Amino acid sequence: MERNDLINSAGQLKQVSEKSAAEYSTKTGLLVELMNNRMEDRPDILDLVGVNNVSMMKDNHANHARFMESIFHQRSPEVLTDTVLWVFRAYRSRNFSSTYWAAQLNTWIEILKQELSPDCYLEIYPYYCWMQINIPTFNKLAEENLEIRYSVH
């Protein structure tokens, strides 16, 4: 599977209703706080994120919530795919373990199921499921391009 395959599969995700997008938006602060607490409490956290990277992990969770909020308001399969690929590359280059993503997404899903209304969760869950089932492809593509030098412009 390649980037275009990921974009095509992301294109199958349905636009989240405004009601569910608004619910997610109103709860992002709580979701991020719960996410940070659960991940930070894991006994394997340093194995997942590396030494001195817990604050970076927390930044990732906050950025993740804001990004997903924007995707839920205005779906874009290409932006979703390219951003997830960029995140995988960026965090792998900072010594995050490839297994961090499964741990992170599993935790997001648990928290979303707990904190969102059933209707909202049913609309949002497919996006997290899509990211979760495509972890091997994201990891593969990120590893292939990890050595690419990005322009400073």
For the entire predicted model, the pTM comes to 0.91
CA–CA distances in Å: residue 146 to residues 4, 37, 42, 47, 110: 19, 29, 27, 20, 30
Q: What is the band of 122 on the pLDDT scale with cuts at 50, 70, 90? A: very high
Which tokens sit at 35?
């996410």
Question: Is the pLDDT reported for residue 113 higher than 90?
Answer: yes
Cβ neighbours, 10 Å, residue 6? 23
Q: What is the pLDDT of residue 98?
A: 86
User: What CATH number does residue 49 fall under?
Assistant: 1.10.490
Residues 101-109, mean pLDDT to the nearest whole number: 97
Q: What is the pLDDT of residue 152?
A: 36
Q: What is the pLDDT of residue 92?
A: 87
Q: Which of 81, 67, 102 is nearest to 9 (CA)?
A: 81
Average pLDDT, the chain: 92
Residue 149 lies in a domain: no
Q: What is the pLDDT of residue 77?
A: 97
Please tell me the total count of domains within the chain. 1
Q: Which domain holds residue 98?
A: 3-144
Residue 99 lies in a domain: yes
CB half-sphere exposure, 133, CA atoms < 13 A = 9
